[in-house]
A and B are shown apart, each in its own frame.
Chain A
Amino acid sequence: GDSVTQMEGPVTLSEEAFLTINCTYTATGYPSLFWYVQYPGEGLQLLLKATKADDKGSNKGFEATYRKETTSFHLEKGSVQVSDSAVYFCALADSWGKFQFGAGTQVVVTP
C-alpha cells in the first residue's frame, strides 16, 4: 500500500537558519503530494501542494518539489522564524483523494 516516511524530530534550529525536512513516499499510480502544518493548539493547515512530477509548491517562504525519480517531496525554507515552530506533516493523496500521512516532524526554532 501507499506510505509516507519523513524524518524524525524534533528538529531544533536557530532563527534565520535553513530548514530541510525530508519526505519520501511509495505509491501506486500518480499521487498528489502535500505538506500540512500544525501550530501549537491549532488544527492541521495546508502549507503547500504539488500534483504532478517536477511541480514546485510554495507558500510563506516554504518550498517543496515533487521528484518522481527519487520519490521525494522535501520541504525547505531558507530562513526560519520563531513563528515557524510547529509540527509538519508530509502526505500523499491517491486518485480518490484518500490521504496517507507521515508521522510528523516537530520543528523548534529558538531566538
Chain B
Amino acid sequence: GAGVSQSPRYKVAKRGQDVALRCDPISGHVSLFWYQQALGQGPEFLTYFQNEAQLDKSGLPSDRFFAERPEGSVSTLKIQRTQQEDSAVYLCASSAELGRSYEQYFGPGTRLTVT
C-alpha cells in the first residue's frame, strides 16, 4: 500500500522567501507529526496533529513556522521569510492512533536549502 509521501523532495529558496511543504499521510492514520532533521543529527520534533487538531506545537522554532491539517488528512508546513538556519530535511510521519505504542511511518522528507 502507499506510504507517507512528501513534496517537493527538494526545495531551494532564497533567504526571505516563503515555502510550503506538503505531507500526505497513510490513509486513515489519525496522527501526523512533523520533524526537522539537521545534517548528522536525529529528527527534532516540531508539531503534531490528531485529525485536524494541532495538539502540540512546542517544537516550532519561531513564529515563522506554521502547520495545518484542515481536513484531518493532508498537512502543510509553511515557513515564512526563510533564513539560512532553516536549511534542513523536514520529515513527516503518521501513525494509526495517538499513543506511545504506535509506531510512526516516515515519509522520505523534503530537503530545504536556503541560499
List A residues at the B interface (Cβ < 8 Å): 4, 30-32, 34, 36, 42-46, 49, 51, 89, 91, 93-104
Number of interface residues of B (CB under 8 A): 28
Most chain B beta carbons < 10 A, residue from A42, A44, A46, A93? A44
Contacts of B97 in A (CB 8 A): 97
Q: Which residue of B lies closest to A42 (CB)?
A: B108
Quick check: B107 and A43 within 8 Å, CB to CB?
yes
Say whether, besides A32-B100, A43-B108, A98-B48, A103 and B56 are in contact (CB < 8 Å).
Answer: no
Say whether, besides A97-B95, A99-B33, A102-B42, A46 and B107 are in contact (CB < 8 Å).
Answer: no
Contact for B99 among A44, A49, A89, A96, CB less than 8 A: A96
Quick check: B106 and A44 within 8 Å, CB to CB?
yes
Instruction: Mark contacts of B90-109 with chain A using CB atoms, 8 A cut-off: 1 yes-contact digit, 0 otherwise.
Output: 01010101111111111111
Contact for A99 among B40, B41, B98, B104, CB less than 8 A: B104
Q: Which residue of B lies closest to A106 (CB)?
A: B40
Say whether, besides A43-B107, A43-B109, A95 and B100 are in contact (CB < 8 Å).
Answer: yes
